[in-house]
Structure 1
Amino acid sequence: MAGAGRMTPAPLRLASRDLMVGVLPAKGSDIVEIIDQRTGVDLMFRTPWAAWDTPSTAVWDSRSRWLSTYRGGWQVLCPNAGPERAVNGALWGFHGEASVVPWRIVHAAETEAVLQTCLHTAPVSLRRHLSVDGAVLSVLEEVTNLSDREREVMWVHHPAFGAPLVAEGARLYTGARTLVADADAPGTVLTPDSVHTWPFVSGADGRTLDLSVLPGPTSHREIFGCLTDFERPYLAVVNQELDLAVTVSWDAKVFPHAWLWQEFCATEDYPWFRRAYALAVEPASTMPGTGTVAGLRRGEPLRLAPHETRSAHLTMTVSSAEGAVSQFRQRGSAAAGEISVSNQ
């Protein structure tokens, strides 16, 4: 999309000896790059139009507008995630207002930053403290109900990883025990609403696949579903060839699910045109969709009491591949994040 818009503003950068993290306060407080200083690898997925801000067009739906400025990286989705919907007289756009509006920089230093925003489509404010310490990125985030009645929101973190970390033969580890395929758009492999024991799935063609082993871009595979029933809340992408691994951990009390998105150059038409090679495991308050499946209720929101603040802590740790695998063998997962609930 070169020439289609203006250049993306420079990110706010946080750095330690081991990591360099780029954040865009002007657009959703997106974490657009996480660079491992040892290898020089940017862990995050980048869209083909990552360097450009394409002007929104009024006739587009909210999904198209969101995608037009999506660079990849790591977003926070609130008060909505997934398709747009009408709530309390407002239209909650695709993937929610928090991921597209500007955030105010409250504090910024070499290794940490505090950012905040208040939403218009829901009486909700968000505040996040980002910090890097060695090879660990910490995200401490608060969501506050500003009104005097209970409010329901969706709260999802959307980190998407790309090449060269994501590569043929790399492995995906997670503490989930169950994968539920999406009811409407499960991708090229899964049957809608099918339930599988992670990591083995029965494909629509009857073959069994191990989803923990990542295929290359020529696989043209797409998967969308929800990981749930976590023994331990974590994900890890391990690339033995690069001797590189990334582990994300969180607390399942706020994020009991994780949306799984694999787009391995599968979508022939808009928006990817087979140009996207991405993997995302997204800690989520809510299962995508509506209705029930396997005794689980899709679309169950996070409920905030009047003036309640809910906070959650996520961590991302970058390590050697062997170091990550040794940790799994010894402890079964990375250490979980922390969570607290308070009323103001």
Structure 2
Amino acid sequence: MQIEQLDVRDWEVLRLSNGAVSLDVVPALGGTVTGLRRLPDGASLLWSTPWGLRRRGAWSLPGSSEAQMVDTYPGGWQTLFPNGGDTAVVGGVEWGHSGEARLTWLDWQVEGDSLVLTGRLVRSPFTLRKTFTLDGDEVVLDETVHNVGGEQVELMWGSQLALGGDLVGPGSSVTTSASTVHPDPRFSTSTSYDDLMPWPRSHGQRSVVNLSRLPGPEADETRLAYLADFDTPSVTVRSPDRTVGLDLTWDEDWPYLWYSMEAGGRHGFPWYSRGYFLALAPGTGWPAHGLHEVRRASATTVWVQADEERTSRLRLRVHPVPAV
């Protein structure tokens, strides 16, 4: 594995490559991955926000937790910890939209054939260790969280990939071993979290939708649903022409997958009807509305004891360039 140090808008960006894939990692932004490309053809698989990686130190206006999150969100691949989605007040402090880990400054070093990033969160008593390893056409991410406080902590934990580039387009396909789908009542008309459907069907904004096929960017549609009851935790996404694809697998300790498709349906801030991406987030619980809503709606929060350490593994395989 080769590592190249880049300066992107005053951020240190580490480009990992091995001849099959390349990965751009920002250590000072929680180890966010801003680029994933297939080599040698350079096909891109991640989505970037219209502003991308803003210049380090750029000003932000005061605003809600979601607005502040969007200000610092470049798209790509991020850790959701210890909160996911809407902000939550825990232990006397606001944990913030999508949690603190995505913003935590991580120190880095190379250990063997892996990039290892480590840091300490501020608003919760955890250290975070992220290890990226390139293995042929696979990217392996091992994450370890350690409760260094003296009391147990209730939390959420997941990993979110915003997919786009050459991978996502009208007719892109999604396959998975999940068997059931929970709708999100905020985005599905006249539903509740209990309105289960068999994969790939879900309640959409206006009618039942097929989650295995992606709409085009002008569909005026937003989808949000939660997949569960996996045979083996996995999902595969392929481009419309089947030339670009990825397989995502993860540990059974993360039994759920958030499925979020934006196809021009979010009017006003932040996408103004021009958002187009598929976000997939395997994790410990659901829905995507913060710790307190997860406890109320599904009772899928996780308790980590004092001095307890937990590790998860996520594998992402980029499909090779098709043979001519």
Asked if these proteins are the same fold (TM beyond 0.5), I'd say yes
Q: Secondary structure at the match of 2:70?
A: helix
The counterpart of 1:170, out of the listed 157, 167, 172, is 172
Q: Secondary structure at the match of 2:11?
A: coil
| Cα drift, residue 202 of structure 1 | 4.5
Closer, same or farther: CA 74–210 of 1 in aligned 2, 3 Å: same
Letter matched to residue 256 of structure 2: H
Matches of 2:126 and 2:91, distance apart in 1: 13
> Runs (4+) of structure 1 moved beyond 6 Å?
none
1:196 and 2:200 aligned: no
Deviations 1:321-342 (A, max 9, x none): 989xxxxxxxxxxxxxxxxxxx
Closer, same or farther: CA 292–63 of 1 in aligned 2, 3 Å: closer
Matches of 2:53 and 2:150, distance apart in 1: 42
| 2:3 paired residue number | none
| Cα drift, residue 39 of structure 1 | 2.8
Closer, same or farther: CA 257–321 of 1 in aligned 2, 3 Å: farther
Matches of 1:115 and 1:81, distance apart in 2: 21
Closer, same or farther: CA 8–154 of 1 in aligned 2, 3 Å: farther
Q: Secondary structure at the match of 1:219?
A: coil
The counterpart of 2:67, out of the listed 53, 64, 68, is 64
Matches of 1:210 and 1:34, distance apart in 2: 27
Q: Secondary structure at the match of 1:70?
A: coil
1:251 and 2:251 aligned: yes
Letter matched to residue 51 of structure 2: W
Closer, same or farther: CA 237–280 of 1 in aligned 2, 3 Å: same
1:107 and 2:107 aligned: no
Q: Secondary structure at the match of 2:28?
A: coil
Identity score, percent? 27
Matches within 5 A, 1:264-275: 264-275=263-274
Matches of 2:81 and 2:130, distance apart in 1: 13
| Cα drift, residue 291 of structure 1 | 6.1
Is the Cα–Cα contact under 8 Å of residues 204 and 223 in structure 2 kept in the other structure? no
Q: TM-score, normalised by structure 2?
A: 0.88
1:28 and 2:30 aligned: yes
Matches of 1:271 and 1:204, distance apart in 2: 19
Letter matched to residue 271 of structure 1: P
Q: TM-score, normalised by structure 1?
A: 0.83
Is the Cα–Cα contact under 8 Å of residues 98 and 117 in structure 1 kept in the other structure? no
Q: Which runs of 5+ in 1 are unaligned?
A: 1-5, 324-344
| Cα drift, residue 211 of structure 1 | 1.4
Closer, same or farther: CA 163–280 of 1 in aligned 2, 3 Å: same
Deviations 1:272-296 (A, max 9, x none): 0122211011011111245689xx9
Is the Cα–Cα contact under 8 Å of residues 47 and 163 in structure 2 kept in the other structure? yes
Deviations 1:202-222 (A, max 9, x none): 5454x4432101111111211
Is the Cα–Cα contact under 8 Å of residues 50 and 71 in structure 1 kept in the other structure? yes
Matches within 5 A, 1:145-294: 145-183=147-185, 185-186=186-187, 191-193=191-193, 194-203=195-204, 205=206, 207-253=207-253, 255-288=254-287, 289=289
The counterpart of 1:131, out of the listed 109, 130, 133, is 133
Letter matched to residue 48 of structure 2: R
Is the Cα–Cα contact under 8 Å of residues 224 and 258 in structure 2 kept in the other structure? yes
Letter matched to residue 90 of structure 2: V
Matches of 1:245 and 1:23, distance apart in 2: 21
Aligned residues: 311
